Structure 1
Amino acid sequence: MSELPVVLVTGGAGYIGSHAVLALKDAGIPVVVYDNLSTGVRLAVPDDVTLVEGDIGDTAHLARAIQEHRIAAVMHFAGSIVVSESVEKPLKYYHNNTQNSLGLIDTCIKQGVRHMIFSSTAAVYGEPESSPISEDTPTKPINPYGASKLMTEQMLRDASAAHGLNIGILRYFNVAGADPAGRAGQNTPAATHLIKVAVQAALGLRDSISVFGTDYQTPDGTCIRDYIHVSDLADAHVLALRHLVENGGNLLVNCAYGRGFSVREVLRAVEAVTGEPLPVVDAPRRAGDPPALVASADRIRQVLGWKPAHDSVEEMVRTALAWERHISGVPDRPASGDAAQTRQAS
């Protein structure tokens, strides 16, 4: 097995990036975090991991960090991620997600970085005509967020062909949950992720939770998404790195479990875990939301040998709830009913 390189994790103080840092540490892989802390949190970076505070658009500072720490691989998480905001502020997304990624790719090539793993998204598929969605499904994003990520994917492919950069493109579906050991979780107070918002509402940290759109052409009228536990996703990044280092070739994989849950099904799962009803309010559709996104997850299992360890909605909810209690200071209390006997939200 090839020796694994020092990995620079951009956005490593953020939600998914911080879990990737933990997965790299757990695998014994040296890691350095590069983050401007605009949405990331310093406390999310372990004490024994070097944090370089800097903006991804500052390529001179980035180059110095790569040189100083002898970086040979980059995992790129830094970026803007809110679909509805991307519709309202498209240029922000093309600047932060596309232009800054161009500078990063160019800097990495000039500094001799061999491997790059990119945090992409199912939003590149738009509203696919068939389901489940495979990696070969045509990419037709319907919002600037998805378009900004797809542009970066193409830049990476072209850079690989021209400069020999080894690339792994991981297209995430809906990420949820928190580190089961309680070391990390989602820290952004105004996050828009459904399970995060739902557990905040369950703890009384939000007055209500809005269901955006109840008239979609789905069984219960609400959007359907394929969810993945953040720790399983982090493990997939470590496997992707090993694949690139061991000359497995460039990589493009969906990151999901291959089954979908509606918004209402997820909310019922939260109620089952907490034993309490949620304060739910029906609201109009949000701009840029497709009705259903469910993945084919065969390739990631076959190519990387990925075996998820946390693939239930209930575990995503339980770990997210435990983390939210931790960061908010809301004390634990016994749920009404037997919260251990939760049902699958299906």
Structure 2
Amino acid sequence: MKLLVVGGFGFIGKHLIERALSSEVEFTVVARKDPDSGWAGYPYVLENTIDNECLESLSKTHDAVVYMASSSIPATGSFIKELTENVEPAVQIVERLTYYNPAIKVIYLSSGGQVYGNDYSRPMCERDTCFPVSPYGFGKLMTEQGLAFLQRTRGIKLAILRVANPVGKWQYGLRQGLVNVVYQSLKSGEPIKIFGSGEEVRDYLDADELAELVLKITNSQFDFKVWNVGSGVATSTLSLVEKIEKYLGISGEKLFFPRRKFDPKSAVLDCRKLQLDMNWKASLTIDQILEKTLSHKMKQ
């Protein structure tokens, strides 16, 4: 098995690379820019240097493509830019790769927390209708639809993973990831910004477990699958903040703001289909995930 990882130097991509290395799985990363020096030694190509000849070579020398690239997050972007900056590039590269190699498997990482929208108070399953309200969620769903069209009309092998909220050691900055945002606020003495009442709930999973699942799927047989990937466990914002405060031994000031339209009140996934199809279930609790992630951050 040899993987082509599009967006492989991002947060989740780094976890996948680490797992691939430990499993002796070969890979090539497609990146939008050169990586940091610590990652530059791994095989990669820049997206803006790829022509049809290069795409043909990549498609015929790899068994699966894992697509996880995105230039936006739920709090930013416009739906028009989503079409040109995220949807079109994803569908275009998959269309060309599968044209040159119809047998190549396609694994697309979508968003379980954003594609379903704000209308569900129970765990959401794959059969539920999607009503995204953020440009980010709209872009993810449109990419899903574009790839599903290729599957219907060309018979490509496609697995769509609607991923919950992964947490892990390579989540940096304040643009995404509540765990890292709270951690950075507590360490710097800045107030913690909470949008909503704090009772809003999310589904968190370990980024390493997600990476292991992706490798398992690349080695499985499928034609077309859509799977929710999460823990299925609801954790409120305030509960998450309190757990991080307790671990660090720091109590921070909390500033409450109105809940933003793109922030669902509840975003918890029903993952029974994945468990049935792949015999996979997230094993780490939120407490174990936080201990693992925060202990790494404190050593840096």
Settle same-fold status: TM greater than 0.5.
Answer: yes
The aligned counterpart of 1:91 is 80
The aligned counterpart of 2:194 is 211
Contact 1:59 1:104 in 2 (8 A): no
The aligned counterpart of 1:29 is 25
The aligned counterpart of 1:45 is 39
The aligned counterpart of 1:338 is none
Secondary structure of residue in 1 paired with 2:45: strand
Secondary structure of residue in 2 paired with 1:85: coil
Matched, 1:13 2:9: yes
Structure 2 portions without partners, runs of 5+: none
Q: CA deviation at 1:282?
A: 1.4
Q: How does 1:106-117 map to 2 (within 5 A)?
A: 106-112=95-101, 114-117=104-107
The aligned counterpart of 2:215 is 238
Q: How does 1:245-284 map to 2 (within 5 A)?
A: 247-284=221-258
The aligned counterpart of 2:144 is 153
Contact 1:12 1:77 in 2 (8 A): yes
The partner residue of 2:92 within 103, 108, 115 is: 103
The aligned counterpart of 2:272 is 298
Evaluate the alpha carbon distance shift between residue 45 and residue 306 of structure 1 in structure 2; reply closer, same or farther with a 3 A threshold.
Answer: farther
Distance of 2:38 and 2:212 partners within structure 1: 18
Q: CA deviation at 1:65?
A: 5.3
Contact 1:128 1:137 in 2 (8 A): no
Q: CA deviation at 1:237?
A: 0.7
Contact 2:32 2:47 in 1 (8 A): yes
**Please, what TM-score do these two structures have when normalized by structure 2?**
0.90
Contact 1:90 1:144 in 2 (8 A): yes
Q: CA deviation at 1:101?
A: 1.1
Distance of 1:90 and 1:319 partners within structure 2: 36
Matched, 1:78 2:78: no
Evaluate the alpha carbon distance shift between residue 228 and residue 156 of structure 1 in structure 2; reply closer, same or farther with a 3 A threshold.
Answer: same
Contact 2:167 2:205 in 1 (8 A): yes
Contact 1:259 1:294 in 2 (8 A): yes
Secondary structure of residue in 2 paired with 1:75: strand
Aligned residue pair count:
297
Q: CA deviation at 1:92?
A: 2.4
Structure 1 portions without partners, runs of 5+: 179-184, 215-220, 330-346
The partner residue of 1:193 within 165, 172, 177 is: 177
* Paired residue type of 1:257: S
Q: CA deviation at 1:138?
A: 1.0
Evaluate the alpha carbon distance shift between residue 203 and residue 43 of structure 1 in structure 2; reply closer, same or farther with a 3 A threshold.
Answer: farther
**Please, what TM-score do these two structures have when normalized by structure 1?**
0.79
Distance of 2:117 and 2:209 partners within structure 1: 24
Contact 1:19 1:234 in 2 (8 A): yes
Secondary structure of residue in 2 paired with 1:203: helix
Identity %: 23
The aligned counterpart of 1:119 is 109
Q: CA deviation at 1:59?
A: 5.2
Distance of 1:323 and 1:72 partners within structure 2: 33
